[in-house]
């Protein structure tokens, strides 16, 4: 009897200890918990509302981050990777443009074309601040048939950019510097014998842009009205043409061009719409379209020249002027293959009474 009582008492004590152990909270060292969380983070990005989210390898639902607190969110991460901690992108681009001449001003129609490539790196230094820098190279040409002139140009470019978001608003800014090496050829007629005048000169461009906008939901789309201002300052070195028949010597029709500075100041008012679609294979496709009215405050383009043989008799050559008011259209596609790989392509067109410009860009972005 005493043995049965002892065995029953031991069983009762074991059950009580087991219940206390089940109710006792498990306390893990913070270091272990943080280390496990770091190992399982899959991606950090922004959703369609530009809100920051975390994706974990063992959790199919994204977690919405608000002031450092994680909250469950069923909203798909349509921009996953766009705001990732670190991103590397590479792209190629091309452009063709036509600026119509104005007989009343004495300017001739100008056609330009160029192509090149760029590479950039950006990082989310804060949950709502993205900073990046980029560099690139381009080659192209410009021609004016009425003046029998053609210019080949090669340029190097470097710049930085940033985006600051305070939902649902944002401010973006960019600053770029370009250095060009230019080679011009001009056919000279009417001086008894034809000749070709050549020149080599440099030019530099400093360009900046600031844009503000606000995201709104519109019939299932993300609509973004925006306003932007750009400014560009161009420095062109002075030069004197030389004859192709006797390199280094000015011909009878050779011109001397003075160094000059030119400004451009366009203002943009427009709207952008975007929507993201989840594909059956897990990829995500995001098309976007924007339309903007543009007003150019500094359309004047002119050169100060003189004959090399008579430098004191200077005269002004009017250049093709861009329209003061024109329309800008942009369209793009982004394909997120995974949380860390995306392909993108875009088109940009500008249309006015004298202005016609077409540009395209495509590339790859990697995020981690």
What is the predicted pLDDT for the residue at 313? Answer: 81
CA 101 from centre of chain = 30
Least confident of 31-40, 82-91, 100-109, 139-148: 31-40
E-only strand ranges, 73-215: 86-99, 110-126, 129-144, 149-166, 169-188, 195-214
The pLDDT score that the predictor gives to residue 62 is 45
Question: What value does the mean pLDDT take over residues 88-115?
Answer: 90
Give tens-digit pLDDT for 231-250: 999 999 999 998 887 777 78
Beta-bridge mates of residue 294: 268, 326
Residues 25-35 have pLDDT tens digits of 444 444 433 44
In the numeric block, which tokens belong to residue 211? 């844009």
The confidence band for 22, taking pLDDT boundaries of 50, 70 and 90, is: very low
pLDDT of res. 63: 44
Give the pLDDT of residue 59. 45
pLDDT at 170: 97
Mean pLDDT of 88-110: 89
Highest mean pLDDT of the ranges 27-36, 74-83, 84-93, 321-330: 321-330
The rounded distance, in Å, linking the Cα atoms of 31 and 305 is: 73
**What does the mean pLDDT of the chain come to?**
81
pTM of the predicted model as reported, rounded to 2 decimal places: 0.75
Radius of gyration of the chain (CA): 31
Report pLDDT for 285.
97
The larger pLDDT score, comparing residue 69 to residue 208, is at 208
- Which has the higher per-residue pLDDT, 363 or 46? 363
* CB neighbourhood size of 31 (10 A): 8
Cβ atoms of residues 161 and 136 within 8 Å: no
How many other C-beta atoms can be found within 10 angstroms of the C-beta atom of residue 139? 12
Band (pLDDT 50/70/90 cuts) for residue 101 is confident
The pLDDT score that the predictor gives to residue 49 is: 43
Domains of the chain: 86-367 (2.40.128.130)
Question: What is the pLDDT averaged over residues 347-362?
Answer: 95
């Amino acid at each position: 009897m005493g043995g049965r009582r002892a065995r029953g008492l031991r069983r009762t004590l074991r059950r009580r200890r087991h219940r206390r152990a089940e109710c006792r909270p498990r306390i893990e060292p913070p270091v272990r918990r943080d280390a496990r969380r770091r190992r399982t983070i899959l991606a950090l990005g922004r959703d369609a509302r530009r809100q920051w989210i975390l994706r974990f390898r063992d959790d199919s639902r994204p977690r919405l981050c608000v002031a450092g607190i994680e909250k469950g969110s069923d909203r798909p991460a349509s921009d996953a990777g766009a705001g990732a901690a670190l991103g590397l992108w590479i792209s190629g681009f091309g452009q063709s443009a036509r600026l119509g001449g104005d007989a009343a001003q004495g300017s001739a129609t100008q056609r330009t074309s160029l192509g090149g490539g760029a590479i950039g790196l950006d990082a989310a230094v804060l949950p709502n601040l993205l900073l990046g820098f980029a560099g690139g190279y381009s080659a192209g040409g410009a021609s004016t048939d009425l003046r029998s002139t053609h210019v080949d140009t090669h340029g190097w470019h470097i710049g930085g950019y940033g985006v600051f978001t305070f939902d649902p608003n944002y401010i973006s800014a960019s600053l770029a510097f370009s250095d060009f090496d230019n080679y011009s050829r001009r056919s000279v007629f009417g001086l008894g014998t034809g000749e070709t005048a050549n020149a080599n000169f440099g030019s530099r461009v400093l360009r900046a842009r600031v844009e503000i906008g606000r995201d709104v939901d519109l019939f299932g789309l993300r609509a973004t009205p925006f306003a932007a201002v750009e400014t560009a300052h161009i420095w062109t070195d002075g030069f004197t043409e030389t004859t192709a028949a006797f390199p280094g010597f000015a011909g009878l029709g050779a011109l001397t061009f003075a160094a000059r500075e030119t400004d451009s100041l366009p203002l943009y008012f427009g709207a952008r719409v975007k929507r993201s679609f989840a594909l059956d294979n897990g990829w995500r496709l995001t098309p976007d379209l924007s339309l903007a009215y543009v007003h150019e405050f500094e359309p004047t383009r002119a050169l100060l020249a003189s004959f090399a043989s008579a430098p004191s008799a200077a005269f002004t050559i009017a250049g093709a002027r861009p329209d003061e008011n024109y329309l800008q259209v942009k369209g793009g596609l982004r394909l997120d293959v995974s949380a860390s790989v995306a392909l993108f392509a875009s088109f940009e067109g500008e249309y006015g009474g004298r202005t016609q410009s077409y540009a395209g860009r495509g590339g790859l972005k990697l995020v981690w």
